[in-house]
């Protein structure tokens, strides 16, 4: 009996082809999704964890507000890291805290860092840089009707020069000296911070005050909006005389406060002195954690900059230049990872 042929298998009809294409598309999407997750998340690596203390600045200063906003960003980006903020008098106290281990990260001006290194203060050799941030601008503020037109006109007057532990104090002393004044003899120095100097000027208990901060500094802006004040120019010639001192003074540069920084206190741009701020830690800080903090500082620039305008100028191209401090290894890893 002849064999009965079995029916042949159905060919790949339209339904089978569509199913295969769907499976192939799903496989591609899974592969792409996996690559995206690998790129966005540090798979296979432990997320940094632990606790860090960030030393900021006086209550109404830019350091303090920047620290608050950076803490918010760190809480989002490094959820296993608990960040605590500590107010301070400013750059000098900040550096002492980080060097001694009282704080883990801080902000300080480049001239204050150079002074700390030059004087070989405790722990100076352990300090490391993470990021060059924004510039501070020196603001010499007087009442609108004041006869003071230059720094040399401050002779015999009550001048707010910043707290002992601040970078403002370093700057004020150097600028007064360059103007031919002995900071301790030729003026009546008042060691106050930006949290109190505007009120003292408004009350007539100060004739002038120095402040060094990002533009605009809210405390100065609010003062200018409620009380008639004026910014005193600090011309290029004064900066040249400061540079003659050498050492940390080389970190100062001539700059201009734009006319729209304090509209009520300026008739136009004002010549002044600027100095860079650095994000500072020590070589004891964990590399992975430092890399994460550095990444967050750069990544949060736009969000932080909406409230702290100086943060808008943090630039990946210049952030790596932390002179006079060597770059921390963790920060170096970050910059290598984003190098084009």
Any bridge partners for residue 255, and if so which? 272
Please, are residues 102 and 123 in contact by the beta-carbon 8 Å criterion?
no
> Around 261, how many Cα atoms within 13 Å sit in the side-chain half-sphere?
25
Question: Confidence band (pLDDT; 50, 70, 90) for 27?
Answer: low
pLDDT tens, residue by residue, 278-329: 999 999 999 999 999 999 999 999 999 888 888 888 888 999 999 999 999 9
Our measurement of the distance from residue 296's CA atom to the centroid of its chain's CA atoms, rounded to an integer in Å, reads 12
| Distance, CA of 56 to CA of 299 (rounded, Å) | 20
- Please report the sign of the dihedral spanned by the C-alpha atoms of residue 116, residue 118, residue 120, residue 124: positive
Tell me the pairing of strands 270-282 and 253-257. Answer: antiparallel
Please, are residues 183 and 173 in contact by the beta-carbon 8 Å criterion?
yes
> Worst-scoring range by mean pLDDT, 6-20, 125-139, 220-234?
6-20
- pLDDT number for residue 126: 98
- pLDDT number for residue 37: 43
Phi, psi torsion values for 36, nearest 5 degrees? -65, -45
CA-wise closest residue to 78 among 109, 105, 96: 105
| pTM of this prediction exceeds 0.85 | no
């Amino acid at each position: 009996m002849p064999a009965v042929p079995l029916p042949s298998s159905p060919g790949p009809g339209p339904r089978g082809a569509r199913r295969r294409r769907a499976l192939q598309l799903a496989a591609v999407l899974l592969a792409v999704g996996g690559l995206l997750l690998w790129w966005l998340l540090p798979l296979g690596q432990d997320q940094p964890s632990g606790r860090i203390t960030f030393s900021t600045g006086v209550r109404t200063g830019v350091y303090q507000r920047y620290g608050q906003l950076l803490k918010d960003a760190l809480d989002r980006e490094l959820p296993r890291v608990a960040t605590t903020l500590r107010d301070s008098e400013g750059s000098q106290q900040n550096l002492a805290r980080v060097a001694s281990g009282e704080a883990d990260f801080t902000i300080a001006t480049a001239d204050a860092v150079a002074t700390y290194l030059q004087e070989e203060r405790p722990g100076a050799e352990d300090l490391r840089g993470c990021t060059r941030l924004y510039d501070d601008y020196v603001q010499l503020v007087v009442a609108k009707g004041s006869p003071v037109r230059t720094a040399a006109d401050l002779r015999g007057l009550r001048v707010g020069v910043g707290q002992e532990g601040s970078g403002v104090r370093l700057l004020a002393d150097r600028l007064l000296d360059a103007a031919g004044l002995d900071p301790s003899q030729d003026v009546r120095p008042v060691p106050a911070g930006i949290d109190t100097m505007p009120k003292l000027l408004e009350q007539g208990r100060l004739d002038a005050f120095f402040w060094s901060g990002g533009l605009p500094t809210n405390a100065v802006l609010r003062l200018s909006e409620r009380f008639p004040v004026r910014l005193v120019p600090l011309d290029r010639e004064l900066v040249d005389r400061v540079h003659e001192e050498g050492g940390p003074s080389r970190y100062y540069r001539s700059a201009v406060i734009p006319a729209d920084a304090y509209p009520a206190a300026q008739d136009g741009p004002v010549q002044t002195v600027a100095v860079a701020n650095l994000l500072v830690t020590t070589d004891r800080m964990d590399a992975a954690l430092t890399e994460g903090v550095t990444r967050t500082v750069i990544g949060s620039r736009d969000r932080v900059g909406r409230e702290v305008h100086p943060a808008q100028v943090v630039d990946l191209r210049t952030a790596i230049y932390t002179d006079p401090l060597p770059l921390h290894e963790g920060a170096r890893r970050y910059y290598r990872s984003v190098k084009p």
